[in-house]
Structure 1
Amino acid sequence: MLKAADRVVAFTGAGLSTEAGIPDFRSPGGRWSRMKPISFEAFLAGDEARRESWRRRFDMDDEIRLARPTRGHLAIASWVRAGKCPAVITQNIDNLHQASGIPADAVVEVHGNTTYATCLDCARRYEIAALREPFLASGKAPCCDDCGGFIKTATISFGQPMPETVMRRATELAKTCDLFVVVGSSLVVYPAADLPRLAHRQGARVVIVNREETPGDAYAELLLRGEIGDLLADFVL
């Protein structure tokens, strides 16, 4: 099916990166079972929420910094190199698709990226490493050197508007592919989880590679259950 397709889109979620040592958020024992997510509204409204958001980010710093692309990441990167896959849509924020060799402009990050931060007012970019020591020393949430605005990791929090340009591109990819491959996504976080259904409605074949059942299984043409690295090892181009 992969070799026969002309235009493949990979749509990836947290299950792809667990082999790299990055736990997902929703499974039992995951971060959301241990701590309530901090909404965008709360981040804007309170200094304590901003401090806690940054404390959590630096608490997971080693996981993100030391993680390396998995067998699944490398398999998907081979589809891009082979010219089969024009871009990867990902819900992941760990930058591992780029680390696998996929050009940054071919990675559509619908939930952003936690490996850098931006000022919410002037959009100045900040590197995480440069923010770590000042935060650990002072305990104060960082503010922009240029305009004084709040600095936040370049991720999309609950209640934060989805990036319109990114979502338009993801939608266009879903509409124009002939094979849509879901890898490691629970397909429960919207609006991104609607993309495979959209691809299906436009006539694309949908394949779901995941350890557990998803809401998209009903319209998938092929379901592959098991460890993602093991399954995708057979689909390297």
Structure 2
Amino acid sequence: MRPIDELTAEIAAARAVLGPAERIVVLTGAGISTDSGIPDFRGPEGLWTKNPEAEKTATLSSYVSDPELRKRNWQRLAEGSMWEGKEPNPGHRALVELERQGKLHTLITQNVDSLHRAAGTSEERLVEIHGTTSKFRCLDCGDTAPMEFALERVRAGEADPPCRICGGILKSATISFGQNLVMADLHRSEQAAMACDVLLAVGSTLTVYPIANVVPIAHQAGAQIVIVNAEPTPFDGLAAAVVPASISDALPLIVAR
């Protein structure tokens, strides 16, 4: 990552691509939320680096087979969400501005923190490809509801609250390791990539599949690629512009009219 004042040419190149665009698809990863105080997962200060059990909790087979693991996880959630007090940053708000300009076709996020929703991105424009921690879902019948409903039950004494409809196991409405993506969301994302004139990848390593495929899909369909990320990605060679800067600093400059 380089200081923003050293990236005048890169910012200008990104603006030149986005300026005339009419159908922009955005893919965001963990990097857009780090300035909101949300750590990544595998970095030196990452959630899973500091708490290996959190990674185990995110593995479906472990979560389903270990009631004690589920109880500890519910207790952590009930004591305070990992996103509690976290607010959208200028990067999230810049993408809301892109929507206000009438340019945003679809925003695909790999994040589960719901900060795009909090910033004001419209429901109809948003694909939370890895789900969200703001809801829970029954693994058996699929019933879903706001997470707070389940947390109220935990605080009232239910250590591992079962589904009230079928008695099944509840978990946050996120996609865990070993769990399939929602195919309708993946299909929508791929269709958006084929329809856009620019794909803007923000804060993603672009190494998590299958969603990283939207970048080559868009490129093959004739879209230009812009990448804003602190570190290099495997698709930098496809990009018309690469901006290795702080997202909170760079993205408002890139989308501003």
Q: What TM-score, normalized to structure 2?
A: 0.86
Counterparts of 1:58 and 1:209, CA distance in 2 = 35
1:13 aligned to 2:17? no
| Structure 1 unmatched runs, 5+ | none
Q: Does 1:120 align with 2:133?
A: no
Contact 2:136/2:147 (8 A) holds in 1: yes
Q: What SS is found at the alignment partner of 1:215?
A: coil
The within-5 A match list for 1:85-100 is 85-100=104-119
Bigger RCO (CA 8 Å, 6+ sep):
2
Measured in 2, the distance between the counterparts of 1:169 and 1:205 equals 19
SS at 1:130's partner residue?
helix
2:213 maps to 1:194:
yes
**1:33 maps to amino acid:** T
Q: Does 1:130 align with 2:149?
A: yes
Which structure has the larger Rg? 2
CA deviation profile, 1:19-43 (whole Å, cap 9, x unmatched)? 1111111211201213152311222
Match of 1:209, as an amino acid? V
Q: 1:184 to 1:102 in 2, by over 3 A?
A: same
Given the alignment of the two structures, is residue 27 of structure 1 paired with residue 47 of structure 2, yes or no? no
Paired residue secondary structure (1:154): strand
Unmatched 5+ stretches in structure 2: 1-16
Deviation at 1:56, TM superposition (A): 4.8
Moved more, 68-77 or 211-220: 211-220
Question: How far is 1:105 from its partner?
Answer: 2.0
Offset at 1:8?
A: 0.5
Alignment of 1:207-222 (within 5 A): 207-222=226-241
- Output one character per residue of 1:203-223: Cα deviation in whole Å (capped at 9) or x when no partner: 111111011111221222211
Match of 2:99 among 80, 83, 102: 80
Compute the displacement of 1:75 (Å). 0.6
Q: Contact 2:139/2:169 (CA < 8 Å) preserved in 1?
A: yes
Paired residue total: 236
Given candidates 224, 243, 248, the residue that maps to 1:229 is 248
Contact 2:77 2:151 (8 Å CA) reproduced: no
State TM-score, norm by structure 1.
0.92
Is 1:102 aligned to residue 121 of structure 2? yes
What does the per-residue CA deviation read over 1:77-123, in whole Å, with 9 as the maximum and x for residues that have no partner?
11112111121000011111111111112110110011111112222
Identity of aligned residues (%): 39
Calculate the aligned-residue CA RMSD, in Å.
Answer: 1.8
CA contact (8 A) 1:71 1:233 kept: yes
